Amino acid sequence: MKVFKMQVFEKDGHIIYNGDALEILSNQIDDNSIDLIFVDPPYNIGKDFNGRKDKWDTDKKYLDWSYYWIDLLIKKLKLTGSLYIMTSTQFMPYYDIYLQDKINILSRIVWYYDSSGVQAKNYYGSMYEPILFCVKDKNNYTFNSGDILVDAKTGSKRKLIDYRKNPPQPYNTEKVPGNVWDFPRVRYRMPEYEKHPTQKPIALLERIIKASTNEGDIVLDPFSGTFTTSYVAKTLQRKSIGIEIDEDYTKIGLRRLSITEKYNGEKLEKEIRTFETKKILEQQTLTLFEPNGTQLYKTNKTNIKK
Ligand SMILES: C[S@@+](CC[C@H](N)C(=O)[O-])C[C@H]1O[C@@H](n2cnc3c(N)ncnc32)[C@H](O)[C@@H]1O
């Protein structure tokens, strides 16, 4: 396991810290300065974050660690700010109870996804991840409901008329999403895929950032992974602060946010996936020439018989 000294990178209102979130939150981020915090911490379920184990010795140690950064995050949030917080289904009840005394929990969201893979066989496999949506002041917070409308199935698909109204009116075709969100997980073949075990979908962060911030607001993600939050913040003209302890994941963020092209002399490029290598090979041609320069043979490399 590699441990690095904290590094900071900044460009056009987007800051990336490579280091320990707890240390950076304590020493680098001003209190009452952040409009939106999205937290997707390690879940204490044994994932492998590039050699860093996502498993604490005891559940109590995981929760004490979590409570420490939860307190810090609440301090960093502006009075009008919002906090979205995730963890595994088994630890969310502890987070929920801990937060109830400190902030207003407005929604308990279920991010549901379908899974074509084999699920648990002897119990009901997990098909969702919980998200708490919290605000500091329930009478003064940003919620751009008009920017996140979804189809109202009854209204938009069946074109029904509500005859209980006088005069009768068509059902609404759009509505504010409820607290069950259906977004596919990031899969290997999706264009947004990065090499990380728990990357969150762009669509999920788009909904959160559009709803809970305005252009120019500051979005913080203390456990950035592939920097989905900062990336989406940038596409939506918000500012961002992303923190990540792992150097390789930090390099993904530097590339995704176009902060640097090179890192320690290494060109930052997206890793080529297996199906892309095959395509590249198929597209490459091989041309053989006679010594006098006449073209003898031209073929796709993959056609060459050994
Ligand atoms: C669940 S993942 C976040 C994934 C992210 N939301 C995304 O879309 O890619 C949690 C991340 O926290 C990082 N991490 C773990 N401990 C950390 C710490 N103390 N400070 C900063 N980052 C940490 C891990 O390396 C991992 O990338």
Gap from CA of 294 to ligand 1 centroid (Å): 57
- Is the N-terminal amide bond of 167 cis, ω within 30° of 0? yes
Q: Structural domain tally of the chain?
A: 2
Predicted local distance difference test score (pLDDT) of residue 118 = 67
Evaluate if residue 156 carries a pLDDT over 80: no
* pTM (two decimals): 0.89
**Is 71 part of a structural domain of the chain?**
yes
- The answer, yes or no, to whether residue 73 has pLDDT greater than 90, is yes
Pairing type for strands 77-86 and 128-135 reads antiparallel
Tally of CA atoms within 13 A in the half-sphere of 275 that contains its CB: 5
Residues 72 and 190 in one domain: yes
Q: How far apart are CA 118 and CA 143, in angstroms?
A: 38
Per the model's pLDDT, the better-predicted residue between 28 and 115 turns out to be 28
Q: How many CA atoms lie within 13 A of 90 on its CB side?
A: 10
Residue 179 lies in a domain: yes
On whether residue 75 sits in a domain, the answer given is yes
- Residues 45 and 134 occupy one common structural domain: yes
Lowest mean pLDDT among 94-98, 186-190, 233-237: 186-190
Using DSSP's 3-state secondary structure scheme, residue 229 falls into helix
1 occurs within a structural domain: no
Per residue in 9-48, pLDDT (tens digit) is 999 999 999 999 999 999 999 999 999 999 999 999 999 9
Ligand 1 atom 5: residue of nearest CA: 225
246 with 123, same domain: the answer is yes
Same domain, 286 and 261: no
| Residues 191, 77 share a domain | yes
CATH of the domain at 190: 3.40.50.150
Q: For the chain, what is the mean pLDDT?
A: 92
Least confident of 70-74, 192-196, 290-294: 290-294
Dist CA 134 CA 181 (whole Å): 17
Please choose, from the candidates 181, 175, 176, 174, the residue with its C-alpha nearest in 3D space to the C-alpha of residue 205.
Answer: 181
Q: Are residues 146 and 170 in the same domain?
A: yes
Residues 69, 79: Cα–Cα separation, whole Å = 18
295 lies in which domain range? 274-303
The CA distance from 299 to 304, in Å, is 7
Q: Which residue's CA is the nearest one to ligand 1's atom 12? A: 223
Check whether residue 123 and residue 212 sit in a common domain: yes
Q: Beta-carbon neighbour count of residue 92 at 10 Å?
A: 18
Among 6, 23, 38, 49, name the best residue to mutate to test ligand 1's pocket (greatest count of ligand atoms within 8 A of Cβ): 49
> Is 2 a member of any domain?
no
Give residue 300's pLDDT band: very low, low, confident or very high (50, 70, 90): low
Please give the structure tokens belonging to residue 164. 């209980």
Bigger pLDDT: 289 or 187? 187
pLDDT of residue 305: 43
Give me the pLDDT at residue 234, please. 98
Nearest atom (ligand 1) to Cα of 229:
8
Tens digit of each residue's pLDDT (9 = 90 or more) over 202-252: 999 999 999 999 999 999 999 999 999 999 999 999 999 999 999 999 999
Cα–ligand 1 centroid distance for 106 (angstroms): 25
Shared domain for 263 and 280, answered yes or no, is no
Question: Is residue 282 domain-shared with residue 225, that is, in the same domain?
Answer: no
Residues 54, 194: one domain?
yes
Q: pLDDT band at residue 171, thresholds of 50, 70 and 90?
A: confident
Judge whether residue 163 has pLDDT over 60: yes
More confident residue, 8 or 305: 8
Cα 285 to the chain's mean position, in Å?
39
> Phi first, then psi: what are they for 103, rounded to 5°?
-155, 165
Residues 211 and 131 in one domain: yes
Per-residue pLDDT for 289 more than 80? no
Q: Which of 45, 245, 256 to mutate for ligand 1's pocket (most ligand atoms within 8 Å of CB)?
A: 245
175 falls within a domain: yes
Query: How far separated are the first and last CA of the chain, in Å rounded?
Result: 43
Query: Hey, CA dihedral for 21, 22, 24, 28, is it positive or negative?
Result: positive
Q: According to the model, what pLDDT value does residue 173 have?
A: 87
Longest dimension (CA), the chain: 89
C-alpha span between 70 and 248 (Å, rounded): 25
Cβ partners under 8 Å of residue 172, min gap 6: 152, 155
Same domain, 202 and 281: no
Residue type, 134: C
**Reported confidence tier of residue 103, pLDDT bands at 50, 70, 90:** very high
